[in-house]
Amino acid sequence: MVTAQKITANTSFFMVALVLQKLLSFIYFTLLARTLGAEGTGQYFFAISFATMFSVLMDVGLTPVLIREVAKDKENGQKWFQQIFTLKIITGIITVLILVITDSVIFYSDAVRNLIYLTTAIVLIDSFTLLFYGYIRGRQSLKFESWGTIIFQLIIMVMGLSLMQITNNVLVLLTVLFTASLFNLIFSGIILVKKFKVKFKLYYRQDFVKKIIAVTLPFALAAIFAKIYAYMDTFLLKMFLGDAEVGFYSIAYKITFALQFIPLAFVAALYPAFSSYFKNDYEQLKKVFAKAFNYLAFIALPVSFGVIALAEEIVAKLYTQEFSFSILPLQVLIVSIPFLFINFSLSSFLNATNRQKINTRNLGLVMALNVILNIIFIPRLGIWGASLASSLSTLLLFTLNLTAVLRVTSFKAKLFKPLIGSLFSALIMFGVVLYMKDIIHWILSIIVGVIVYLVLMFITKTLKQSDIMFIKKSFGKPS
């Protein structure tokens, strides 16, 4: 029997693993960018992004369905795995063929062609690894995936940093990802066989397949929208401008989304509460949602203003002056962080109240707008046009989801009053950091800014001791 304590322990360990992985990944990409320069970084980032954009065709919602069905029906979990594993082989072959043909036609004389061949193999491996861990998640175990995630990133760090000492060849450095991904695939496969006694074999039953397809369609549609939304800007930058511009944009992109694990972890911890209160205590659901909304803003606002104030120093010191063209795109992208963070709570609320279709619809609309804006802005405004398109799309998604939430239920305005105090504190902090960065070391100005923000939050009574306890309990052991 899996106890609540065990689930909490597994989840906490997995969150720690994700945080460590994100931190090491950010450090590694920073060092990689310094080694490769703008053009090499652009080729590296584009090859991964292009293949990843097609990865959704390999999974088409199969993994989420496997997790859910294995969790519900452990006795038939083997059949679910074998049928979905068989389907994954089919979708994998089809997707690889599409990718290889597309790559050969579009990039037949481009330096990224061979890079995309390799990243296609990486994405295929990762797709099966995701499926293997999906079964393990369905059996309510996260520790193996946690260890796999940590070791995966350590392999990248050790092997990648070693190779950087002797080469700046993009293809060679991409083999680092291939090696780490291959390890993760083998590791997860061994765990499936040895620990969970899963037998790998092909299985096909037509009525079973029809059932799976019917269930996976909503997942697949949402995933396709999300992938196009996330990576179309990189593709269009490559088509309109070139590798160096993709490299400049990749720096702004990486910095902006490096902290995305914060809302992910926060909402993952609160989602069960949302679901429970929706069934049992609707008033409490509204209060908890308002708190999550406010707390995500408390974190996002100072991050956004702080990065805007220090964008020049961050880019110059971490990535060298060669990436100075990344400064403005970073400032434009980072503006969207508060809306991006808060949208996690909005999306989670809609899912918890059985309104997943609204999420999918809104994501589809935003994807369409994002593509249109990128086509309009990139040729006219260059790199920062892609950033502007991304920020405006994030703002639209926030607006659509917030409108949907407000249609579902009404909230008292006083529940969101703390946002005023947070915005005021962040603005004062912004002014202090701008002033102090020319007097003291820029890193010290970050520390000063954090202190100023927290002091003002307590002075204005925007943040109270009870709020600290709520956030702590959100990630702690459930009562």
- Both 266 and 200 in one domain: the answer is no
- Both 4 and 148 in one domain: the answer is yes
- Both 422 and 319 in one domain: the answer is yes
Single out the residue of 118, 140, 115, 129 nearest to residue 44, CA to CA: 115
* Cα–Cα distance measured from residue 470 to residue 476, given in angstroms and rounded to the nearest whole number: 10
In-domain check, residue 253: no
pLDDT at 138: 81
- Both 266 and 188 in one domain: the answer is no
Per-residue pLDDT of the chain (479 residues; tens, 9 = 90+): 444 444 445 556 777 787 888 889 999 999 999 999 999 999 999 999 999 999 888 888 888 788 877 877 777 778 888 888 999 999 999 999 999 999 999 998 888 999 999 999 999 999 999 999 988 888 877 788 889 999 999 999 999 999 999 999 999 999 999 999 999 999 999 999 998 888 888 887 887 788 778 777 777 888 888 888 888 999 999 999 999 999 999 999 999 888 777 777 666 566 656 666 676 777 777 777 787 788 888 889 999 999 999 999 999 999 988 999 999 999 999 999 999 998 888 887 887 776 777 888 898 999 999 999 999 999 999 999 999 999 999 999 999 999 988 887 777 767 677 888 899 999 999 999 999 998 999 999 999 999 999 999 989 888 777 666 655 555 544 43
Cβ atoms of residues 401 and 347 within 8 Å: yes
DSSP letter for each residue of 115-149: HHHHHHHHHHHHHHHHHHHHHHHHTT--HHHHHHH
In-domain check, residue 40: yes
In-domain check, residue 296: yes
In-domain check, residue 242: no
- Both 286 and 372 in one domain: the answer is yes
Structural domains in the chain (count)? 2
Single out the residue of 186, 201, 192, 216 nearest to residue 126, CA to CA: 186
User: pTM here?
Assistant: 0.85
pLDDT at 210: 83
Angle between helices 206-240 and 4-59 (to 10 degrees): 70
* Cα–Cα distance measured from residue 155 to residue 181, given in angstroms and rounded to the nearest whole number: 9
- Both 153 and 282 in one domain: the answer is no
In-domain check, residue 214: no
pLDDT at 184: 96
Q: Which of 179, 204, 229 is the last residue of a domain?
A: 204
- Both 70 and 200 in one domain: the answer is yes
- Both 114 and 194 in one domain: the answer is yes
The amino acid present at 7, given as its one-letter code, is: I
* Cα–Cα distance measured from residue 384 to residue 394, given in angstroms and rounded to the nearest whole number: 15
437 φ/ψ angles, rounded to the nearest 5 degrees: -65, -20
Single out the residue of 232, 219, 203 nearest to residue 76, CA to CA: 203
- Both 75 and 194 in one domain: the answer is yes
Q: Which of 204, 228, 244 is the last residue of a domain?
A: 204
pLDDT at 470: 57
Cβ atoms of residues 264 and 59 within 8 Å: no
CA dihedral 331, 333, 336, 340 (to 10 degrees): -140
- Both 307 and 386 in one domain: the answer is yes
In-domain check, residue 251: no
In-domain check, residue 140: yes
Q: Which of 183, 204, 225 is the last residue of a domain?
A: 204
pLDDT at 229: 87
- Both 196 and 289 in one domain: the answer is no
* Cα–Cα distance measured from residue 197 to residue 3, given in angstroms and rounded to the nearest whole number: 22
Print the domain residue range for 3: 1-204
In-domain check, residue 198: yes
Interacting residues of 272 by C-beta distance below 8 A, sequence separation 6+: none
Number of Cβ within a 10 Å radius of residue 197: 8
- Both 198 and 278 in one domain: the answer is no
